[in-house]
Each structure stands twice: as C-alpha cells, then as structure tokens.
Chain A
Amino acid sequence: MITFILRRVVQTLVVIILLSYVCFGLMTLMPGDPVEMMISANPRITAEDVVRLRTFYGLDQPIYKRYANWVSDIAQGELGYSRTYRIPVTEMMGPALTSTFVLSMCSLAFSLIVAIPLGIICALKPNSRLDYIVNLFNFAGISVPSFWLGIVLIIIFAVNLGWLPAGGYQTTGLQYTSWFHEMADKSKYLILPMLSLSIQSIGRFSRFTRSAMLEAMRNDFIRTARAKGLSRNVVVWKHGFRNALIPLITIVAISLSSIFSGALITETLFAYPGVGRLIYSSIMGNDFNVAMVSFVISVSMVLVMNLVADLLYGVVDPRISFN
C-alpha cells in the first residue's frame, strides 16, 4: 500500500516536471519573442541594447538554465509578473482557479445528477423506446462540439429569449446587498457554461451507468434479493446501484481531466474568467509567464486529483489490492 502510494506520487511528480520542462521549451518556439517585441515597439533601440536586454532577461542562456532559474523562483513563491496586465501572477491565479473549480464541480455534479437516473432507468428497461431515445441523446452528447452547443445556447437563451446573460462572470457595476444576492447573480452567469460543459459528460456517464447497471442487475444476488421479497427500490439502489458504482467512480475520475479540457473552451466562449481562459488568452497574447504558471498549476491540479481518485479507489472497493 505504502509503496503503491509512493510510486504513484513519484510518477505524478516526474510527469509534472517533464511536462513543465517541455512546455518551457515550447514557449520559446512561440511567435512573439519579448525582446523582439520591444524592438518593434521602440525603433531607437540599438544592437547593443538588444544584447544587454537579452542578458538582463536571461534570454541568452540555454533553455535548461533558464528553466532551472524559473523553477527556483517558483519554489521561492516568486511567480513573476504578467506582461500584459502588469500585475503579479499570484493575483491572477487565485480568482481564476476558484472560478474554474466552481464551474467544473457544478458541471460534474449536474452531469451526475442527470446521468445516473437516466442510465438506471435505461438499464431497468433495456431496449425499450425510452432506452433508444436516451441512447440517441447520449450519442448526441458525446458527439456535439461543446463550443458550438454553447453558441446555440447563447442564440436561444441570451439572444432570442433574453433569459440569461450571454457571457461573463457577474453583472458589472452591481453592488451586492447580501451574500444570497451575490450567489443568485453569479449563478445566473454559470448556467449556460455549465450546460454546455456538462453535455458531453452526461452522455458518457449515462452510457456507462447503463452498462454497469445492466451488468450488476444480472448478478445472482439480485435474483435472491427479489425472491426474498425486497422492494424494487431497495433491490435497485442498495444491491444493484452499489455494485454499479465501482466502475462509475473510475470513469468519473478519468473524466476530471476531460472536464477541465472542456472548461478551457467553454470559458473562452462565455468570457468566464477561469484558468482555462487565462491559459488561452495568455498564450495568444504572448504573456508567457502567465501562460507557463497557469498551465503548470492547472495540469498539476488535474494530475493530483487523478492521484487522489486512484487512492480513494481502494477505499471504495476493498477487494482491490494495491499489490
């Protein structure tokens, strides 16, 4: 058990370090060298100035040295400044991470609430008409491009019906009178991004619940429970669903990273100030410091969540041994 945990932790760390190094190297290959941008902004810069600036920013050193410097800065809690906004990266990361966390968790909760009952209903009546309709919906869910669905939702609910805002995080200039007021206002902005982010996981979870539940209901102990005279609800939830839960937890854990992936697009589409949008806009705006930090932190978070899910796995199903 201990060796398993240690091995997984070391693996995760190695992946994070390798990934951040590769990412650091790739950033230098992106268009928009910082010194070149200064040159184009100021025609009076001479060749000596360029050399001096390159040395000043450490750009004349090889990548691995620059990477080592960067890591030691990070280790000391020095995340650097955003080139675009001229504020410390730490100030940007906090709110962005919170927003993304709220969005992802809402989406995860929503998709589970919708998908699990759908999957169970289908599993209890396989090959019924309802099953076919839900199946079609599931396939549509995993096949629809989420950004396009977001656009369609905006057209319907923001442009035509005018019920919900087309994008943003909160109503600008609004003074919140109470905690409840704030929640109500912000959740209004959360609905459309959450819907477009959830649809894919709903499809995936629902298909998975259906097959796991079908498998579980085929067990002998289900027949025994029925024969014993237990009510349908007890059989389905206590005996069937509990056993279907184990494979479901796996797929939920795997889905965390794909939900985060989707959040990047959804946040960009809805101008929702999360970390996904931060990664995208900082890369597009050549704000490499922000891009690097937000990328590494968010990917590490996903990896750590995967690690936690892996460890929890043994808690949920005692039959699984880590050896």
Chain B
Amino acid sequence: MLKLDEIQKRLLREVADLHEVPEGAYNIRSNSASAGRQSTANIEIVSKEDVSGLEIRIKPGTKHESVHIPVVMTQSGLKEVVYNDFFIGEGADVVIVAGCGIDNCGNQDSQHDGIHRFFIGKNAKVKYVEKHYGSGDGSGKRILNPGTEVYMEEGSFAEMEMVQIKGVDDTERTTIAELAAGAKLVVRERLMTHGDQRAISTYEVKLNGADSSADVVSRSVARDRSFQKFDAKIVGNAACHGHTECDSIIMDEGRILAVPGLEANNVDAALVHEAAIGKIAGEQLTKLMTLGLTAAEAEEQIINGFLQ
C-alpha cells in the first residue's frame, strides 16, 4: 500500500494526474525510494542492479496498456541520478507517463536527473508524457536535468509530450533520437519560466532511415528575468522529412535564444525550421478586453491558450 503525505499526493496530481494508485504497471519513486510498484502480465518493471533506476520491459504486441513512473521529492538537499530504460516490444501500443515533482521548503538545492532511454521495436507505438513541476518556498533550488534517448526501429511511432510550467529553477534538457526507416517522432514541448529561472532544451534528431520523419515543436513563455535556450537540430541522413518549430512569447525582462539547426546529408532530405519570438500582440489583449476581461485576465488567457 502506498504511503504518501499530502504534499507528495499533490505533486503526484501535478505531474501525473494521479489521484489514486494508477491502473496498469507503475512505480512511484518518493525521496529516492520506491513507494510502490506493480508489474502486469505484459509489462515488467525491475530495479537496475548496477545503478539507481528501472528496466521496464513491454512485451511485443501489448496493446492499450499504460506505465506510470512518477517521481516526487520533498526532502531538501536530495540529489539523485536515475537511469530508466524502456524496452518496447514489436507492435506494442502503450502510454508511458513519467514526470517529476519537487517540493523544496529548505535552503539546500534538490536535484533529480532522470535519464530515460527508449528502445522502440518495429511498428510499435508509444505515447510518452512527462511533466515537471516545482513548489515550496525555501531558498534551495529545484533542479531537473532530464536526458532522453530514443532509438526507433522500422515503422515505429513515438509521440512525446514534455511539459514544465511552474516552479523548476534550473533545467538542462537533452533529447537525442535515432530513427530507422519509416519511423516517426513527434515532440511537443511546453515550457514556462519565471523569476530568475533558466531552462535549456537541446535536441538532436537523426533521421537515418528512408521515409523517417520528425516534428519537434516547442512553445514557450519566458517571464520576469528568466532565460530559455531552445537548440533543436535535425540531421537528415536519408530521404526524410524533418520539421522543428520554436514559438515563444517573451514578457517583462525575459530572454530567449532559439538556435535552429538543420543538417542534410542526403539530397532527398526535406528539413524545415521555424522560429518566432515576440511579446503578446497588443491586438490580442485588446480583443479579449472588448470581451470584458481586464488586461491581466486577457494576458493569462493568451498564455494558457498558447501553452495548451
């Protein structure tokens, strides 16, 4: 039975929409220890022996099952590196929900570096959702440095939704992916930084197989004095389609650096990068004010919509 206090439960709701113990396979990590784990007939979760972390093995052909592996941290000063490997069998179709919530009320930094590797078998489909959230009013920072590696076999599909909206002081996110023929990767990143936060997100996607494709889209908002860097590189090594997009709103004294990177090593590689950074358009505020909202309410609606 799970033993979680109210703060831990709140973090779980924020990062994994969990109100109860999830259905299907799960592992809940709380303050560096497993607070509950369940494998299913098709999904096996075991601890790694050499380092901290999990191996999650999903049998070929597993359909419509989910894995939840949220992490919550409430002890100030905790620092951990966790290695989780996902092996997704041929033809499987699963949802994986990760995410990390840190509540730091102390004055020491709390840090969770989650390194996730995905080995996606032929024709398998994965939807991966990762939310990061920080809370607590201590002076200690909340730091999350996720590393994601995605290895996709022929005809596989992965959709990755990565969200960090609130309370994480410092993030360096690195995502690399390698796609075989016919594989398709869709990434939707949503990020909001405030205060003096700093967030760096780096992607390198290699389209190695014919007809592979990647669509990496980041929408972000930088408020107060925060800083963001979005560095997305797509490498086309075959006849492929690649698209990256960085669409950002800056406010106050926020700063954003978007670094487009496209590398085509094959004449049939079609790669596109789009980037747009700007403040909220005045006419958007005006329109919502003519509908009866105050300027502050209008701003909130625009940002909420933008980060939907």
Q: Do A and B bind each other?
A: no
Query: Using a CB–CB distance below 8 Å, which chain B residues touch chain A?
Result: none
